[in-house]
Structures are given as C-alpha cells and as structure tokens.
Amino acid sequence: MSLIAIAIAIAVFLGAIGRLVNAQGLVTNCTWQTGLLEGSFLGMYCNNDDWAEYAYDWTWFDTNNCLINYGGKLYPSYPSGNYWSTCDNCTIRGSNFDFLLNCLCIDSNGHLAPTSYDLNGLIWNHNGALGCFDHIGNKTHVGPF
C-alpha cells in the first residue's frame, strides 16, 4: 500500500472519529422532556455547539430513516428503515436513561403487536440537530414551546 493510500485512509478514519466525537447522545444533550412525536417525526430542543451561551435549537427529525419493522419488532436499518408504513399508535417516553419509541407494529402473523425501541442508542444530536447514521434533521432557534 502506498504512503498516499495510507494517508488517505488515516484522514478518512480521523474524519469519521471526529464526527462521532462531535455527535452527542439524545438523553444527555437534548431536553427529552420537550420531546414531541408527530407521525414519524421527532422534535425536541437539543444543545448546539455555542457553549458560550449554552444554547438550544429546536430540531425535527424523521425517525422513519432509522428503523425497520421486522416481524413486529423494531430494528435499526441503514440506509433507510420505513417502519412507519407497518406501525401505528406510536408514542415516546423519555427518562434520564432512555428514550423509548413505543408502537403497535404488524408481526409475522399479520397482527398488531406492541414493540418498543430505545432511540437513545440510535439517534444522536450534532450541533442542535437530531440524526442517525448519515441522516440529519433540521433545526431552528424557535420551536413550539
């Protein structure tokens, strides 16, 4: 392997690590108490990178980009999930430790089955915008609250 190829590989690796370092957890860096679920869109206030003001931005993000329904259970899915087409009555419930998405999803028998997934391990905050994998939501300084 040439030195140029090694240098490029190292730069790509460091870029990926830098993005992960800058991405912050949902529960610890967003006000999960303001969480709002409209369809598959999750909205809440999240810390941005303006540490001088310790500012928050309102962010909307489509969770349908992150999860898939497989046999009545929710799983992470890349590049897109599309769980929303087979799930209904979804709600969110947060705490200082987790942020659960609870839904009724069609199982392998064609029945609606209750399922949940902890979004805290999947969705991240980057500079005030929620995202997962390489999907990122929008942000504004003003939200509905």
- Give the pLDDT score at 12: 38
- Classify residue 90 by burial, with Cβ atoms within 10 Å: 0-12, 13-18, 19+: buried
Sorted by where each starts, the structural domains of the chain and their CATH numbers stand as 25-140 (2.30.60.10)
**Cβ(63)–Cβ(82) below 8 Å:** no
**Cβ(90)–Cβ(40) below 8 Å:** yes
CA distances from 98 to 8, 78, 107, 128, 131 (A): 37, 22, 24, 19, 16
Structure tokens at 98: 């987790």
- Give the pLDDT score at 11: 39
- Give the pLDDT score at 52: 66
- Give the pLDDT score at 144: 73
Q: What is the pLDDT along the chain (145 residues), one digit of tens a residue?
A: 555 444 344 433 333 333 334 456 789 889 989 999 999 999 999 988 876 666 788 999 999 999 999 999 999 999 889 999 999 999 999 999 999 999 999 999 999 999 999 999 999 999 999 999 999 999 887 777 6
- Give the pLDDT score at 80: 84
CA distances from 33 to 21, 37, 54, 101 (A): 24, 12, 18, 14
**How far from each other are the two terminal CA atoms of the chain, in whole angstroms?**
55
Distance in angstroms (rounded) separating the CA atoms of residues 137 and 100: 19
